[in-house]
Amino acid sequence: MKIGILSRNSKLYSTRRLIEACEQRGHQAVVIDALHCYMNINSDQPSIHSKGESLDDFYAIIPRIGASVTFYGCAVLRQFEMMGVFPVNESVAITRSRDKLRSMQLLSRRKVGMPITGFASKPDDIKDLLDMVGGAPVVIKLLEGTQGIGVVLAETRKAAESVIEAFLGLRVNIMVQEFIKEADGADIRCFVIGDRVIAAMKRQGAEGEFRSNLHRGGSASLVRITPEERRTAVEAAKVMGLRVAGVDLLRSNRGPLVMEVNSSPGLEGIESATGKDVAGMIIEYIEKNAKPQRTRTRGKG
Ligand code: ADP
Ligand code: MG
Each residue of 59-92: pLDDT tens digit?
999 999 988 899 999 999 999 999 999 999 999 9
C-alpha 23 – ligand 2 centre gap (Å): 31
Please report the pLDDT score of residue 130 as a whole number.
96
Quote the strand ranges of 102-183, DSSP E.
Answer: 117-120, 138-142, 151-154, 174-178
C-alpha 53 – ligand 2 centre gap (Å): 38
Residue 296 lies in a domain: no
Contact criterion met (CB below 8 Å) for 201 and 247: no
Residue 171 lies in a domain: yes
Amino acid, single-letter form, for residue 51: K
pLDDT band at residue 121 under the 50/70/90 scheme: confident
Nearest ligand by distance to the CA of 213: 1
Q: What is the pLDDT of residues 194-205, one digit of tens each?
A: 999 999 999 999
Specify whether 103 is located in the same domain as 233. Answer: yes
| Number of structural domains in the chain | 3
Specify whether 258 is located in the same domain as 169. Answer: no
Nearest ligand by distance to the CA of 100: 1
DSSP character for 61?
A: E
DSSP character for 36?
A: G
Using alpha carbons, select from 130, 168, 4 the residue that is nearest to residue 76. Answer: 4
> For a pocket test of ligand 1, which of 133, 250, 251, 263 has the largest count of ligand atoms closer than 8 A to its C-beta?
250
Atom of ligand 1 at shortest range from CA of 187: 16
The CATH number covering residue 257 comes to: 3.30.470.20
C-alpha 275 – ligand 1 centre gap (Å): 25
Contact criterion met (CB below 8 Å) for 258 and 112: yes
Using alpha carbons, select from 5, 30, 13 the residue that is nearest to residue 271. Answer: 13
Specify whether 105 is located in the same domain as 193. Answer: yes
| Segments forming the whole domain that contains residue 50 | 2-89
Euclidean distance between CA atoms 10 and 37, whole angstroms: 16
Nearest ligand by distance to the CA of 143: 1
- Write the residue with the smallest CA distance to atom 13 of ligand 1: 211
Last residue of a domain, one of 127, 157, 179: 179
Specify whether 82 is located in the same domain as 103. Answer: no
Please report the pLDDT score of residue 298 as a whole number.
58
pTM of the predicted model as reported, rounded to 2 decimal places: 0.94
Residue 300 lies in a domain: no
C-alpha 248 – ligand 1 centre gap (Å): 9
The CATH number covering residue 54 comes to: 3.40.50.20
Q: What is the pLDDT of residues 182-223, one digit of tens each?
A: 999 999 999 999 999 999 999 999 999 999 998 899 999 999
Using alpha carbons, select from 275, 259, 161 the residue that is nearest to residue 213. Answer: 259
